[in-house]
Amino acid sequence: MRIHLTSVFVDDQAKAEQFYTGILGFVKKHDIPVGGTARWLTVVSPEEPDGAELLLEPAGHPAARTYRDALVKDGIPLVQFAVDDVRAEHERLTGLGVRFAQEPMEAGPVTVAVFDDTCGNLVQIVSPAD
């Protein structure tokens, strides 16, 4: 068994596509219209183009909004991404205007930081501690 697809609920798919590709550096894998303005829009890591896909899913369902908003209110990231160096990635993303909810900090064997994806979610990045 492998993880093939996971999703994040986003307020605006076009805005999410720009952020996840233009700022975070993911690559668009699928972009298929599914009715109205909704799309089956997935991104992947350029390091693993055939790896797990992240679906940028419209947050239209009331339960999705309630769940996501409660996580943000409590400061809980919806998703976590591995990076080689959290401090370097924090510096790169800050330079691109990304707002961090939690600056880099060591948490046992890892360094973590949390940022706002501009689409309604908190995202954690993690790397081995320095």
Percent of the chain having pLDDT more than 70? 100
pLDDT greater than 80 at residue 17: yes
- CATH number for the domain including 108? 3.10.180.10
What does the pLDDT average to over 5-29?
97
Q: In the predicted model, what is the mean pLDDT of residues 100-114? A: 97
Highest mean pLDDT among 48-52, 60-64, 126-130: 48-52
Model pTM greater than 0.85?
yes
pLDDT at 35 over 90: no
Residue keyed to tokens 């829009």: 41
Mean pLDDT within 50-67: 94
Domain count, the chain: 1
Do 68 and 59 touch, CB atoms closer than 8 A?
A: yes
pLDDT band of residue 71 (cuts 50, 70, 90) is very high
Phi-psi region of 112 (alpha: psi -120 to 50; beta: other; left: phi over 0): beta
Total residue length of the chain:
130
- pLDDT average, residue stretch 73-77: 97
Q: What is the mean pLDDT of the chain?
A: 96
Q: Are strands 5-10 and 53-58 parallel, antiparallel or unpaired?
A: parallel
Half-sphere exposure of residue 112, counting CA atoms within 13 Å on the CB side?
Answer: 15
The residue range of the domain holding 21 is 5-128
pLDDT beyond 90 at 130: no
Q: What is the mean pLDDT of residues 64-78?
A: 95
The β-bridge partners of 97 are none
